[in-house]
């Protein structure tokens, strides 16, 4: 036997939560809650964060020029110094974490997930001359909240899991006699079909509730959703971001008092508007979905996470 085949590297396991990210310190609690739920269900495994949005990371990079300001506001050091995927995965490899499950917390298979998928695929393609010195034993990518294409896991089941988590919103909308309007980030380059399917499932699950899911980017946009609500005769709206965090889009595009926001558009159409500015990651049941995704992905790839 070759002497090289007898060698081995330390191979620790880690979970890397890949978030779009947020520039709002108050919204970071949603991301930390996701990690809290993952740690609770998968104890003893290292769990770290990274941000996939270049723009968000650049803002945090600029803020590091005055770190005390942000640390005094309660921003954790790991968020102030947050890294992108490649930086975070490199640090894990330097720490001998050679089996890594990458769990995206993106809502659906859009631009951010597709880019992340390409990074993971590139790492998986590395072939060293001596296999023992390969930087990773396994780097695998899990699924976003609303699933992805493929035969291993039915994305419709992922949508069903998400759609069943909104009892509180439905009840509050009923009390207000209001339409329940969610606003997702969306994307100009990928279809928003997953959100449309989710909306249809939610309508079936909550009969009697008038539910809409609109997009900041893509369709249906604000004008289409406002027309749908007012055309039904509703005069009240419960408005909430269909996003992991309630950050910039939630506070500016959705809930701002400016006439150009979603709230402003509904008010201009004669509707009373109540907003719920909480990211979905703040909900324990929603956050726990990602732990479930991680465990399923681990099983798919023969990675033992639980004792």
pLDDT digits (tens, 9 = 90+) for 62-92: 999 999 999 999 999 999 999 999 999 999 9
Within 10 A of 163 (CB to CB), how many other CB atoms are there?
A: 20
Give the pLDDT of residue 3: 57
pTM of the full structure: 0.93
pLDDT digits (tens, 9 = 90+) for 124-181: 999 999 888 889 999 999 999 999 988 788 999 999 999 999 999 999 999 999 999 9
Q: Kindly report whether the peptide bond that precedes residue 263 is cis, defined as omega within 30 degrees of 0.
A: no
Give the pLDDT of residue 2: 55
Q: Are strands 236-241 and 272-275 parallel, antiparallel or unpaired?
A: parallel
Query: Tokens 């979603």 correspond to what residue?
Result: 262
Give the pLDDT of residue 53: 96
Domains for the chain: give ranges and CATH numbers. 3-7+9-154+283-300 (3.40.50.1400), 166-279 (3.40.50.1400)
Show the low-confidence residues of the chain (pLDDT under 50).
Answer: 1
Give the pLDDT of residue 151: 77
């Amino acid at each position: 036997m070759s002497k090289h085949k007898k060698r081995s590297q330390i191979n620790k396991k880690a979970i890397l939560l890949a978030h779009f990210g947020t520039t709002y310190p108050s919204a970071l609690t949603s991301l930390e809650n996701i990690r809290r739920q993952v740690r609770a269900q998968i104890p003893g495994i290292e769990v770290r964060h990274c941000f996939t949005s270049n723009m968000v990371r650049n803002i945090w990079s600029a803020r590091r020029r005055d770190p005390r300001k942000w640390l005094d506001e309660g921003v954790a050091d790991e968020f102030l110094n947050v890294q992108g995927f490649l930086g975070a995965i490199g640090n894990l490899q330097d720490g001998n974490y050679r089996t890594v499950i990458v769990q995206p917390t993106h809502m659906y298979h859009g631009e951010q997930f597709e880019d992340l998928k390409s990074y993971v695929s590139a790492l998986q393609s590395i072939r060293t001359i001596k296999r023992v010195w390969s930087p990773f034993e396994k780097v695998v990518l899990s699924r976003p909240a609303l699933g992805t294409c493929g035969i291993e896991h039915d994305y419709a089941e992922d949508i069903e899991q998400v759609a069943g988590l909104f009892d509180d919103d439905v009840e509050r909308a009923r009390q207000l006699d209001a339409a329940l309007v969610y606003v997702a980030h969306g994307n100009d380059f990928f279809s928003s079909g997953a959100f449309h399917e989710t909306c249809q499932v939610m309508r079936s699950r909550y009969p009697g509730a008038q539910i809409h899911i609109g997009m900041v980017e893509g369709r249906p946009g604000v004008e289409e959703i406002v027309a749908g609500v007012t055309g039904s005769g509703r005069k009240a709206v419960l408005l909430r971001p269909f996003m992991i965090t309630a950050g910039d889009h939630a506070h500016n595009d959705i809930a701002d008092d400016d006439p150009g926001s979603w709230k402003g558009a509904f008010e201009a159409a004669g509707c009373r508007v109540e907003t719920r500015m909480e990211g979905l990651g703040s909900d324990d049941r929603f956050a726990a979905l990602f732990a479930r995704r991680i465990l399923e992905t681990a099983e798919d790839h023969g990675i033992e996470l639980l004792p």
